[in-house]
Structure 1
């Protein structure tokens, strides 16, 4: 007795509109072309690029002219488009385009961290109302699979902390300062020459890029809507070669960190703390060895324990890899008439102000070289309820001044700031040379 197994009927193609064809968009087009057969096999249907919205079509001669258009709104509105992939960046007109796409039931894949950090709630609402998918793995840490593990793999766990290096430009600059002993300006110039820094590096070096990513990470990890405006942000332009040297002498290194924490007050009420700033971390910490333009994120969860995600956090091909991964996921969902995970913001935890967030400080002072200096400085710390963890004082040959370094235990940031301000006004203190937070000591 024989039986015949019928082959599955070929599914209709999944048609994709691409918004933007710069460094990342060009790589997306290349991968869609080169991997067409594999993508079709993984999705269960062909994936066809039906249009690409660009500003200047004549600059894209490697792309078939019939795919190019300057009318992004018309492309998004086309009835045959199933998925909109956005790699333009910025807020408008992208926000309107993606809300329109989602409202029409089209799935959206975006790499736009700034938009998600500012208007993510609006996008999720539009997706929920229509039953469309919204995926954005490429918005944080490039090719590193990070958001999906937080969003799906750890959905059954309780995440307590996410701390990471999420900006390659600043990590390259700080790594170069440590390796060569150069100052910030010299390291930034070198990063620009090698293409690691943009012509206008403000978004990177002032922490805006990392703050947007921190908002996205905190929103997912703690099931709470967090925007970029909720994130305390400091950049690296004030970091000096002396700061790097001081960290090295203490067995630490300096990194720009995005830190998202679930915190509990004395009454047992939970909140979220989200901040971006440079900090000294021990050389023994897993993030300390992340050099150059690489990214890494350290996650702590109740059941899973400690996890670390590491890899290339930017660049055309790595980011396009994450975009294609999302595209495969949403295309599979459409073929199967399903949908991916929705926004999880049920916790609605408040965001704790930076002043109430507990941190530790490394404070370097230039003081008079005379008896009683340490006593006067310590009295100010005690007055503000700040405990000193370590202190080191070194005199200078043939000079009437000395170097005094104080490392504190964790205390509310506002108390630490007030302490530094009061110490700066002491007659025996000539200058507050540097103030930097200390993180990761528990590791």
Structure 2
């Protein structure tokens, strides 16, 4: 536990993460100052009156006179004033770093471009099945610092690259990178390599590393771990892999056939990978297979991730709003069984991603494309004959509803962040679900 007495603390960014940081310091007798570049940030009404705040811009004087700056994940670290503060000796960290300095119970740390939330939920259900008192937080929407008021036996943290950028003291019992593909390039001017190095920080000081055998970027670059475990869907050399046997797919754990995939509620490549990685994590903690496999069989998927939300007149409406990058959308398309036309909705803030890899799929499956939002016009370049540009997602859905016929699939898998037009990908997904039921009647 760190002593922050005498520290001049400035917190940048409100919302649930910023408020959790405020409460953390107040509980330790430190009154921080708060900055938010938004004029009306969420959480401002919940800020205690003793805490001074500055809205609408950075307060350079506060930042340069601080001894500790705590930034929320959404704050860019390459702002000139933050660079100047860092050079002058001011420590800049995030909430995960504050958390890592406080806890002594073991941590499972999970990151990756796609699948983080699903694997976090899977492993948490498995661990809870043993009867352990487990705290789950991080990028899933629960601030890690909110867990400090209770004594947990194990912590499970979903950690984004932005959070890893400001984390230095994390010592995970088990750390996993599920995959790495181009994402958030607007925050990483150094391109994929800079993003990859950010993800790799999760392995630093970890006891056990878990890597994707089919993704060399997930192989640990740091030494010091006790051992490394691998998973891979069609990689026999991986410790955990998939094998086709007598007409069925089987999950293999360290050369043992442990689960016939036909027993799972969701049968898709994405969920096979998620199951393999969750099983690898649970075995590190010696959780009986009778518990872990039961959870894998009962799991029916996450909301907003390839979720069938409505079906009527033979038309299926699928909510994959959580697909905020190209790789996630590619996976969603490849896992569909198509007998009609696929109406694919793309749009939002592409974060400077390269969308060109989607061209082959769109041509291969003769997809009808509907593009909307900030990068809608750019996305229309992926289609040729069957492409429509609208301003909003709802406008696109109105058009789609007039064009669908039996056996068609309407897929919202945007390949983009939602923040240009929605509060979150969840808000976008709920909106899609509501209007799918309205229009699809």
More helix as a share of residues: 1
* Larger RCO, structures 1/2 (Cα 8 Å, 6+ apart): 1
When normalised by structure 2's length, the TM-score is 0.30
When normalised by structure 1's length, the TM-score is 0.30
